[in-house]
Amino acid sequence: MTAPVPLSGRQPRAVRSALAVLEEVVATGPGVTAKEISAALKLPQATTYRLLNLLVGEEYLVRLPDLKGFALGRRAARLAVPVVTTPPTAARAVVDHLRGLVRWGVHLASFGSGQVVLVDPDPDHPPSDAALLARYPQVSALGRLLLAEQADWRALVRELRVFTEHTVSGTTELAIALDAVAREGIARQCGELRADRGCLAVPVRAPDGRLVAGLALSGPAHRVAEPNPELVELLREHAERLSPLLG
Amino acid sequence: MRGGRSLRLRDRSPVHGLARRRLGPLEVVAQSVSGAAPSAAMAATPAIVAASAGGGTVWSFAIATVLALLIAGCISRFTRRMAAPGGLYSLTAKGLAPGAAFACGIALLVGYGLLAAAALAGVGAYLDALLARSGLPGGRVVVTVAVVVVGLLVGALALRGVRLSARVVLLVESVSITVMVVVFALLLLSGPAPGAVAPVPAAGIGGVAAGVLPALAAFIGFEVATALGAEARRPFRSVPRAVGLTAAVSGVLYLFAAQTQVVGFATTPGGLAGQAEPVLTLATARGWSWIPALLDAGLIMSFFACALATATALVRVLFSLSRDGVAPQALGRTHPRFHTPHVALAVALPVVVAMLAVPVVSGVPIGVTLVALLTLATCGFLVAYLLVCLAAPVFLHRIGELTWPAVAATAVIVPILLIVLVVFVAGSRPAVVVLAAVVAVGGVWFGWLRLWRPDRIAAIGVYDETVAEDVLGQAAA
pLDDT band at B476 (very low <50, low <70, confident <90, very high): very low
Exposed/middle/buried for residue B320 (C-beta within 10 Å: 0-12, 13-18, 19+): buried
**Contact flag B5-A72 (C-beta cutoff 8 Å):** no
For residue A242, being part of any structural domain is answered with: yes
Residues in chain A: 247
Mean pLDDT of chain B: 89
Count CB pairs under 8 A between chains A and B.
96
Low-confidence ranges of chain A (pLDDT < 50): 1-2
pLDDT over 50 (residue B2): no
pLDDT over 90 (residue B241): yes
pLDDT digits (tens, 9 = 90+) for A177-216: 898 998 889 999 988 888 888 899 999 998 888 888 999 9
**Contact flag A53-B9 (C-beta cutoff 8 Å):** no
Residues of chain B above pLDDT 90, percent: 52
The CATH number that applies at residue A66 is 1.10.10.10
pLDDT digits (tens, 9 = 90+) for B98-143: 999 999 999 999 999 999 999 999 999 999 888 888 887 777 788 8
> Is the same domain home to A36 and A99?
no
Final residue of a domain: which of A45, A79, A113? A79
For chain A, list residues whose CB is within 8 angstroms of any CB belonging to chain B: 1, 28-35, 45-46, 49, 53, 56-59, 62-69, 71-74, 76-77, 112, 151-152, 154-155, 210, 212
CA angle B307–B309–B312, rounded 5-degree value: 105
> Is the same domain home to A169 and A147?
yes
pLDDT band at B242 (very low <50, low <70, confident <90, very high): very high
> Is the same domain home to A56 and A102?
no
Q: How far apart are the CA of A27 and the nearest CA of chain B, in angstroms?
A: 9
**Contact flag A155-B9 (C-beta cutoff 8 Å):** no
For residue A120, being part of any structural domain is answered with: yes
**Contact flag B400-A71 (C-beta cutoff 8 Å):** no
Q: How far apart are the CA of A9 and the nearest CA of chain B, in angstroms?
A: 22
Provide the 3-class DSSP secondary structure of residue A51.
Answer: helix
**Contact flag A57-B234 (C-beta cutoff 8 Å):** yes
pLDDT over 80 (residue B8): no
Chain A residues inside the 8 Å CB shell of B476: 112, 212
Range of the domain at A58: 12-79
> Is the same domain home to A126 and A234?
yes
For residue A6, being part of any structural domain is answered with: no
Which comes out higher in pLDDT, residue A240 or B200?
A: A240
> Is the same domain home to A55 and A145?
no
Contact A98, A239 (CB under 8 A): no
**Contact flag A71-B472 (C-beta cutoff 8 Å):** yes
> Is the same domain home to A219 and A130?
yes
Q: How far apart are the CA of B2 and the nearest CA of chain A, in angstroms?
A: 7
**Contact flag A72-B472 (C-beta cutoff 8 Å):** yes
> Is the same domain home to A218 and A156?
yes
Chain A residues inside the 8 Å CB shell of B470: 62, 73-74
Instruction: Report chain A's terminal Cα–Cα distance, integer Å.
Output: 48
For residue A142, being part of any structural domain is answered with: yes
> Is the same domain home to A19 and A134?
no
The CATH number that applies at residue A229 is 3.30.450.40
> Is the same domain home to A73 and A100?
no
Kindly provide the ipTM of the predicted complex, given to two decimals: 0.86
**Contact flag B234-A1 (C-beta cutoff 8 Å):** no
Q: Which residue in the set B7, B233, B470 is minimally distant from A74, CB to CB? A: B470
Contact B444, A43 (CB under 8 A): no
> Is the same domain home to A75 and A126?
no
For residue A1, being part of any structural domain is answered with: no
pLDDT band at B3 (very low <50, low <70, confident <90, very high): very low
**Contact flag A53-B80 (C-beta cutoff 8 Å):** yes
Number of domains, chain A: 2
> Is the same domain home to A73 and A183?
no
Residues in chain B: 477
> Is the same domain home to A176 and A125?
yes
pLDDT band at B201 (very low <50, low <70, confident <90, very high): low
**What domains can you pick out in chain B, each with its CATH number?**
25-460 (1.20.1740.10)
